[in-house]
Amino acid sequence: MNFFKAVTTSVPLLEVPAQLWSGLIQNLRNQGAGVRESGAFLLGQKTNSCRVVTRTLPYEQLQADALHDDYVALTAASFAKLWNFCRQEGLSVVADVHTHRFGAGQSLSDRANPMIALTGHIAFIVPRFAQGNVRLQNLGMYVYQGNHRWTAYSGSDVSQFVRLTGDPK
Ligand SMILES: [Zn+2]
């Protein structure tokens, strides 16, 4: 934990059960089928220093037509469903994730329209529609700073902030 504090104090550590994570990536890959973007919310509990993911909520489960070739989009009604679900289950939105066709950089739209416009919200982008072997250091990780500003992390930084738990290796 001290190690992470030394890197930065502004980015909370994210813990995800390894099995949940691999299921998430697999679902993103399957839903995108190599031709369209896909995405999901990561739900769980959060404190200032740590966020623990306990389940995921894929966008297609909130809204059948959320996935498109070059973007993902949810309506206000889908967000209402999300908040209802979180309230019923006692969960918070810990982060969101979506795929891109090529790299893991944010689009103009991603920067301008955070899924959750809360300072400290984390958005991940998985490159290549999550095809192939997706490793943490392949992801783009973006922490919302408010006012359409983000702090971006990539490469080994991402694997420092995300801890896959219960991984046998
Ligand atoms: Zn995007």
Q: How confident is the model at residue 121 (pLDDT cuts 50, 70, 90)?
A: very high
Token couple for 147: 């006012």
CATH number at 133 reads 3.40.140.10
Cα of 12 from ligand 1 centre, angstroms: 22
In a domain, 1, yes or no: no
Query: What DSSP character marks residue 138?
Result: G
Domain that holds residue 111: 12-165
* 99 contacts 127 by C-beta, under 8 angstroms: yes
Query: What is the percent of the chain with per-residue pLDDT over 70, rounded to a whole number?
Result: 92
Cα of 70 from ligand 1 centre, angstroms: 8
In a domain, 160, yes or no: yes
In a domain, 154, yes or no: yes
Q: What is the pTM of this model?
A: 0.91
In a domain, 94, yes or no: yes
Given a cut of 80, whether residue 55 has pLDDT beyond it is yes
Phi and psi at 135, nearest 5°, equal -115, 155
In a domain, 90, yes or no: yes
Cα of 98 from ligand 1 centre, angstroms: 7
Q: What is the pLDDT of residue 49?
A: 80
Q: What is the pLDDT of residue 134?
A: 96
Cα of 4 from ligand 1 centre, angstroms: 27
Cα of 168 from ligand 1 centre, angstroms: 32
* 13 contacts 1 by C-beta, under 8 angstroms: yes
Q: What is the pLDDT of residue 61?
A: 97
DSSP per residue over 22-84, as a string? HHHHHHHHHHHTTTS--EEEEEEEE-SSEEEEEEEEEHHHH-TT-B-SS-B---HHHHHHHHH
Q: How confident is the model at residue 7 (pLDDT cuts 50, 70, 90)?
A: very low
Q: What is the pLDDT of residue 10?
A: 64
Q: What is the pLDDT of residue 12?
A: 74
Cα of 47 from ligand 1 centre, angstroms: 26
Averaged pLDDT, 27-44: 97
Number of domains in the chain: 1
Given the DSSP bridges, would you call strands 149-153 and 122-126 parallel, antiparallel or unpaired? unpaired
Cα of 84 from ligand 1 centre, angstroms: 25
In a domain, 57, yes or no: yes
In a domain, 122, yes or no: yes
Cα of 6 from ligand 1 centre, angstroms: 30
In a domain, 2, yes or no: no
Distances (CA, A) of 161 to 11, 33, 83, 101, 122: 7, 28, 26, 24, 11
Q: What is the pLDDT of residue 167?
A: 61
Cα of 100 from ligand 1 centre, angstroms: 6
